[in-house]
Amino acid sequence: MKILERYFFWENIKPFLLSLVVITFVMMLDRLIDLLNVIIEKQLDFLTIISLFSLSLPFILALSVPIAVLTSSIMSFGRMAVDQELTAVKACSVNIYKKMTLLYIIALFLAGGMAYFNDFILPDTNHVLKNLMIKVTYRKPINAIKPGTFTSFENISVYAKEAVGEELHGVIIYNRESSSFPTTITASKGTISIENNANKVRIDLYDGEMHEKDAHEQDKYQIRYFKHYSLIKSDLGFQIDNSPTSYRGDREMNSKQIMSMVESRKKDIDRLENELKPLRESLQELPTNLEDQEVYIEHKKLNNMIKLKVAEKDEIEKTIRVYQVEMHKKYALAFACFVFFLIGAPIGMMTKTSGIGMAFSVSAVIFLIFYVMIVGGEQLGDRGLLSPALSMWIPNIIFLVLGMIVTYTSYKEKSLIDLDRLNNRIKKLMSRFS
């Protein structure tokens, strides 16, 4: 009987590796399309291109591994069902599902491995990828200027009629920093560069004029002409260098970091609650006669302070929910490896499909439904309509129950889907329409 267990293992491992390679390759092609414009515009070197794709691979694997488990289980057991191998095993009075115990254990270990991968490896690669993307984006800033459209850097908007090599021609700039009236600068040509590790934008303009309106005396209007003028915008907040930045988003933190951040934010909520309590008490102690000007002003002042602190508290609570949802999402996607095997094996037995096309089609539909539920749950969790844990684990719970149902149906040798009958019905329906 050990031979049968090993046979099931090898019959699943081969299609799993094939499915993993194919699915990862397809998803990498989609990533290639996203990065193609950046690669061409920034004229990236080969090493940077390889770094972008290698750092994108962990995120793709977090999705492709569960899909590969589902596809391979449908493919392998479907093939054994078509070739009557499962029928021969049943004829020997052998319980197939007992001989699949090793596969269930392996699926659980794979889920555990993916949980570690999603929690410790993926956040760091996402963080490095984000830093690299920011560095690449500002590598050649002239490529960020699209001819015929306005491009904004903080309070500066830049327009160029055309870009010729490293120069911008027909430049118009609106600078809204100095006063309530924007300063308009026009120049025949100009260049744009990045300094101070991408924390400073320098725009050099040539042969132009500057139009300014006095903020205090609106009747005064100045026009100044220049041969060369430099406009510098500092403190953009990027500070790109080779060392990792301290800031991390929700997808760049592991569970320990998220829990630490949540505890810190909860302390902020407690502080705001302590600040709100005396404000609300002071508001209640005010006279109810709002016709008194002083009372009205004090009432309005306290109300505004309360609203600001309540808004700050709501924003902190939303941030906490977002991070908690992301933490549960890491483990929910990992546990999907076990759930998908639980549901994939009996579906393969009952559909009796050995074709790789059918296996990919069925698994794509199942994973699409699962992923839509994950995305929908993420939105509900972020908005506070569901708890972060429940919003991320509902898809797994639903598919786990569905897996038990199809497993029981397969064990009782009932048909889940009769493909031949379904195909005949579709043909009859199409013939009626025709």
Q: What confidence score (pLDDT) does residue 238 get? A: 41
- CA angle, residues 137, 142, 146, in degrees to nearest 5: 95
Mean pLDDT of the residues in the chain: 83
Query: Percent of the chain beyond pLDDT 90?
Result: 37
| Residues 95, 5: Cα–Cα separation, whole Å | 12
Q: What is the distance between the terminal CA atoms of the chain, rounded to a whole angstrom?
A: 54
- The mean pLDDT of 140-147, rounded to a whole number, is 66
E strands along 26-182, which residues? Answer: 150-153, 156-164, 167-175
User: Is 70 exceeded by the pLDDT of residue 297?
Assistant: yes
Answer with the residue of higher pLDDT: 2 or 425.
Answer: 2
Q: At what angle do helices 101-116 and 2-42 cross, to 10 degrees?
A: 30
pLDDT given at position 33 = 82
Average pLDDT (172-200) is: 75
Residue 271's H or E segment, with its range, is helix 255-285
Q: How confident is the model at residue 196 (pLDDT cuts 50, 70, 90)?
A: low
Domain boundaries, the chain: 2-137+328-347+354-409, 141-233, 250-323
The pLDDT of residue 370 is: 94
The pLDDT score that the predictor gives to residue 145 is: 73
User: What was the pLDDT predicted at 244?
Assistant: 46
pLDDT in tens, 9-55: 999 999 999 999 999 999 998 888 878 877 776 677 788 889 889 99
- The confidence score (pLDDT) of residue 429 equals 74
Q: Is the pLDDT of residue 304 over 70?
A: yes
Q: What pLDDT is attached to residue 344?
A: 92
Q: What does the pLDDT read at residue 243?
A: 46
- 371-413 residue pLDDT tens: 999 999 999 999 999 999 999 999 999 999 999 988 888 877 6
**Does the pLDDT value for residue 242 go beyond 70?**
no
- Residues 243-265 have pLDDT tens digits of 445 578 888 899 999 999 999 99
Which residue in this structure is represented by tokens 């149906």? 409
pLDDT recorded at residue 197: 53
Give pLDDT, residue 342: 94
Nearest residue to 156 (alpha-carbon basis) of 206, 214, 231, 209? 231
Q: Are 1 and 99 in contact (CB under 8 A)?
A: yes
Indicate whether 57 pLDDT > 90. Answer: yes
In percent, the amount of the chain with pLDDT more than 70 equals: 85
pLDDT(363) > 60: yes
Helix or strand run (H / E) with residue 31: helix 2-42
Among the ranges given (69-83, 160-174, 324-338, 352-366), the one the predictor scored with the smallest mean pLDDT: 352-366
pLDDT-based confidence at residue 241 (cuts at 50, 70, 90):
very low
**CA–CA separation, 151 vs 372, rounded Å?**
35
2-6, 124-128, 228-232, 421-425: least confidently modelled range: 421-425
Structure tokens at 362: 């069925």
Lowest average pLDDT, out of 120-129, 297-306, 334-343, goes to: 297-306
Helix (H, G, I), strand (E, B) or coil at 231: strand
Q: What is the mean pLDDT of residues 301-327?
A: 91
Give residue 154's pLDDT. 64
For the stretch 37-49, what's the b/e string if a residue is b when 16 or more beta carbons lie within 10 angstroms of its beta carbon? Answer: ebbeebebeeebe
273: tokens are 């609650």
pLDDT of residue 1: 52
